[in-house]
Each structure stands twice: as structure tokens, then as C-alpha cells.
């Protein structure tokens, strides 16, 4: 039997995502009520500019006093889509203290203060759901913390930022340089006027922190994630990748050490074989590859951003939280029982592609190979091309630690025959 008294929802933020949440709540009201077991009512919308016309939203619901809205006491669920650290953190905490559960899309806040927010939610016996914080409409967080709760996840490897994937895909498919591809992404609306958060990997790093924490039952904060942007990737790097049968993607990589005693989380450009499923992810799409003991390899794919896809994830959480509200229960909270240490980037082991500018004369290859050997880095393949006294030397290593590779490169720079290190890129997905 359906309950007649509606569950009241407060919406914090009414931009691209918030306006879509409000629209879907209105146009799909009957379906949502049938799925939840009670109607849901938009009880208030907190915004910064109340004079702006918002189609489909009763102006009487609009307020600039978000604090008063979440303190009302009759609000069942607060949907937070304003982003940033403050005032979002204080508003979410206040919502819990005044009896509301929370659905959030705030990746930056969750990556920085997720543990503290979960603690407040648990203290007040309320839900904190945030499927929309990572990879837009792609169901990812719920499968990790619910569907795979009985499994052991070993690795999460993914493309979690649509802007960077669009840019790199353009560079790969058209031969465009970085700036040219960025300009196109901006013109099409895929990149912000200031794309720093995307192209320097901050957005992906926040998502990696969230994914690693859930996958490995360990608290992983944004500061624990190694981050390297993609602004230095060149057309020459793509040419080298193609010669290896690879392409280049900005990847978020979260993995458990082979001995199971620690975890790592990192974001950086990497070459991946064309045979890997992530290599075929084009345009502004996202995809995440999960490897676990029992399930093996799973891939989640779809639109990773935008108003409608993100709102879809928000509404999915809203339905789940409302159902919990009706049954008097709460869903999964933070799971950090494993408390594994997060290893520094220097301990990460992977393959490397190194391009060197060297003198084109006898003995250079021997000198370079000696340096690699002295630092314990094994060489897989070497390719040398040169003329008129100058040459390009491309070395692909076997697996080595980041620290060992760093020492190798430092020593190479000291050789008289090495003019410079043109590029260094990790090789993943094998």
C-alpha cells in the first residue's frame, strides 16, 4: 500500500544538474512514487540568484537561505548539487543534525572529507549516497559497495573525465596538437573556460580517491592520490604510441599491492594497448574497468557528465534513500575496516616508454643501457633513429618502480651523449 504523506526533498543548487533533478521529479512524479512507495515533494530549492527564471519550479519554493531550508526539520532528504567544499560541507552536516538523509554529487568534498561526513551520518542514523559524484550516469559506486561486497576488488582502472578523453581522442584520431584539441572541446562545451580541474587531473583524482576507498575498504583522501595532468602530451607521443599498437588515455588507477598489504591511487596519462577495452572509449564518454577475485573483469561504460546523466544518478540515489526512509533503515555507510596504508608513487611498479634525444654516434646505446642496468630497470625494446649527428632513442622497459625509473632518468640526464629527455610515459593495461 502506498503511503499518502509525501516525502519532502530539499534541493541545494539549481544549475545544470539541479534543474534536471527538479524536472525529472516533476515529470516522473507518478513513476517515482510507485517505485518508492510514497510520493516525493520538492519542498524547497536553495539558489544564489533568486531572480532567475527557473522553468517548471514554483518561485515560492526558491530561497537564498540554504541553512534555514536544511534546518526545517520536516525535510526527509537533502539533495546537494552546489559543489565545492563550503558551504556544502556545513549544509550537509546540518541536514544530518536536523533529521534529513543526503544525496550528493560533490566529488571534491567527498574525496576530502568523506570519512567525517559518513561519521556524522552514522551518528544521526541517516544515509549519505553519492553515485553521481563519479562517472555521471554510470552505475559504479553502488556495484562496488553492494554488488561486489562479497568479492575482493584488486584493481580499478578507468577513464573518469569526459573532457580529457575528448581532447586525447581528437589528438589520436586527427593528429591535432593539445591546444587545438582543447579549443575544439571548449567550442563544443565539453571544456570549461578554465579547464584546469580537468586537464591537470584534479577532477579525476577526486574520483580516484572515492573509488579506491570503496573498492579497498580503506580511507583514501585526495591528498593520497598521485596526480599528473595531460597538458604535456604531444602529437609525437601519439605517434610513438601507434608504433607500439597503443593509444593514450588519462587514467585513474586504484590497485591493491600484490601482497595485499597496501593500496595505491593515481591519475596520469598512460599508453594502453589498442586491444584493451578502454582504448575504444571515444569522445567525452567514461569507462571504468574493475578486476576482482571472483567476478574477474567487469567494465562500466557510458556518459560521464552532463545535466541529464548526472541527474539520473542523483534520482537513483533519491529513490534508494526514500525507500530506506520508509522502512526505517539505512543503506551501506562507510566501510574502512581494512585500513590499508596508501603507498607513495615511488613504490608503484609499471612499464615505461622513454624518448631520449641523443648524439648519433657509436656507443650511445651501450651507455644508455648501462645506466638502466645500474638502476635495476630491465629494457624490453629499443628503437633508434638518427641523422646529421642527432638521434631519437625510444626505450620501453619491463616493469619497474617509479622510484627506480626516476633514478635512471636523473642519471641519463648527466650523460654527455644525452641531449634531453623528450618524454616519459607509463604503459598500462597489460
Q: Which residues are part of the catalytic machinery? A: 207
Classify strands 77-80 and 101-104 as parallel, antiparallel or unpaired: parallel
- Could you tell me the maximum CA-CA distance found in the chain, to the nearest angstrom? 86
Query: Does the annotation place 17 within a ligand binding site?
Result: yes
The b-or-e profile of 349-364 (16+ CB within 10 A means b, else e) is bbbbbbbbebbbeeeb
CA 365/CA 360 separation, integer angstroms: 10
CA 69/CA 85 separation, integer angstroms: 19
Query: Does the annotation place 192 within a ligand binding site?
Result: yes
Angstrom distances, CA of residue 365 to CA of 36, 249, 385, 407, 427: 68, 30, 11, 18, 22
Are the beta carbons of 97 and 74 closer than 8 angstroms? no
Query: Does the annotation place 376 within a ligand binding site?
Result: no
Instruction: Give the CA radius of gyration of the chain.
Output: 24
Cβ neighbors of 5 (< 8 A, separation 6 or more) are 38
Query: Does the annotation place 414 within a ligand binding site?
Result: no
Query: Does the annotation place 107 within a ligand binding site?
Result: yes
Query: Does the annotation place 14 within a ligand binding site?
Result: yes
Return the C-alpha cell found at 283: 569522445
Return the C-alpha cell found at 240: 610513438
CA 424/CA 54 separation, integer angstroms: 49
CA pseudo-torsion sign 187, 188, 189, 190: negative
CA 249/CA 280 separation, integer angstroms: 10
**Beta bridge mates, 298:** 290
Nearest residue to 44 via CA among 80, 93, 16:
80
CA 151/CA 39 separation, integer angstroms: 36
Alpha-carbon dihedral 86, 89, 92, 94, rounded to 10 degrees: -90
Query: Does the annotation place 148 within a ligand binding site?
Result: no
Strands (E), 208-341: 226-227, 246-256, 263-273, 285-292, 296-303
Helix axes 16-27, 29-36, angle to 10 degrees: 80
CA 314/CA 129 separation, integer angstroms: 9
The annotated binding site for L-homoserine is made up of 192
The annotated binding site for NADP(+) is made up of 12-19
The annotated binding site is made up of 12-19, 107, 192
The annotated binding site for NADPH is made up of 107
Amino acid at each position: 500500500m502506498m503511503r499518502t504523506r509525501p516525502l519532502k526533498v530539499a534541493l541545494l543548487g539549481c544549475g545544470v544538474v539541479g534543474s534536471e533533478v527538479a524536472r525529472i521529479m516533476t515529470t516522473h512524479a507518478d513513476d517515482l512514487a510507485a517505485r518508492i512507495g510514497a510520493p516525493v515533494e520538492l519542498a524547497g530549492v536553495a539558489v544564489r540568484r533568486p531572480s532567475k527564471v527557473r522553468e517548471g519550479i514554483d518561485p515560492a519554493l526558491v530561497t537564498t537561505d540554504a541553512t534555514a531550508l536544511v534546518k526545517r526539520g520536516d525535510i526527509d532528504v537533502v539533495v546537494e548539487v552546489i559543489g565545492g567544499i563550503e558551504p556544502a560541507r556545513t549544509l550537509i552536516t546540518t541536514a544530518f543534525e536536523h533529521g534529513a538523509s543526503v544525496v550528493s554529487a560533490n566529488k571534491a568534498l567527498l574525496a576530502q572529507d568523506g570519512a567525517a561526513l559518513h561519521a556524522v551520518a552514522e551518528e544521526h542514523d541517516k544515509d549519505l549516497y553519492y553515485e553521481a559524484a563519479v562517472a555521471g550516469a554510470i552505475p559504479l559506486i553502488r556495484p562496488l559497495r553492494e554488488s561486489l561486497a562479497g568479492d575482493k576488488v584488486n584493481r580499478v582502472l578507468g577513464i573518469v573525465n569526459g573532457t580529457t578523453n575528448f581532447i586525447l581522442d581528437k589528438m589520436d584520431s586527427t593528429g591535432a596538437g593539445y591546444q587545438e584539441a582543447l579549443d575544439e572541446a571548449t567550442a563544443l562545451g565539453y571544456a570549461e573556460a578554465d579547464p584546469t580541474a580537468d586537464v591537470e587531473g584534479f577532477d579525476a583524482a577526486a574520483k580516484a580517491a572515492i573509488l579506491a576507498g570503496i573498492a579497498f575498504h580503506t580511507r583514501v583522501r585526495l591528498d593520497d592520490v598521485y596526480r599528473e595532468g595531460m597538458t604535456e602530451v604531444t602529437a609525437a607521443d601519439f605517434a610513438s604510441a601507434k608504433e607500439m599498437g597503443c593509444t593514450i588515455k588519462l587514467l585513474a588507477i586504484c590497485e591493491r599491492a600484490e601482497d595485499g598489504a597496501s593500496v595505491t591511487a593515481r591519475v596520469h596519462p598512460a599508453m594502453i594497448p589498442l586491444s584493451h577495452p578502454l582504448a575504444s572509449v571515444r569522445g567525452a564518454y567514461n569507462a571504468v574497468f574493475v578486476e576482482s577475485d571472483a567476478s574477474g573483469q567487469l567494465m562500466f561504460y557510458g556518459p560521464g557528465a552532463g545535466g541529464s546523466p548526472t541527474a539520473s544518478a542523483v534520482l537513483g540515489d533519491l529513490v534508494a534513500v526514500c525507500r530506506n526512509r520508509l522502512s526505517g533503515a539505512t543503506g551501506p555507510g562507510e566501510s574502512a575496516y581494512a585500513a590499508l596504508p596508501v603507498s607513495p608513487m615511488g613504490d608503484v611498479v609499471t612499464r615505461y616508454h622513454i624518448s631520449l634525444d641523443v648524439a648519433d654516434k657509436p656507443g650511445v646505446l651501450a651507455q644508455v643501457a648501462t645506466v638502466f642496468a645500474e638502476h635495476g630497470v630491465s629494457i624490453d625494446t629499443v628503437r633508434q633513429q638518427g641523422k646529421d649527428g642527432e638521434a631519437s632513442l625510444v626505450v620501453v622497459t619491463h616493469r619497474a618502480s617509479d622510484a627506480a625509473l626516476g633514478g635512471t632518468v636523473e642519471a641519463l640526464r648527466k650523460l654527455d651523449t644525452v641531449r634531453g629527455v623528450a618524454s616519459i610515459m607509463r604503459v598500462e593495461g597489460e
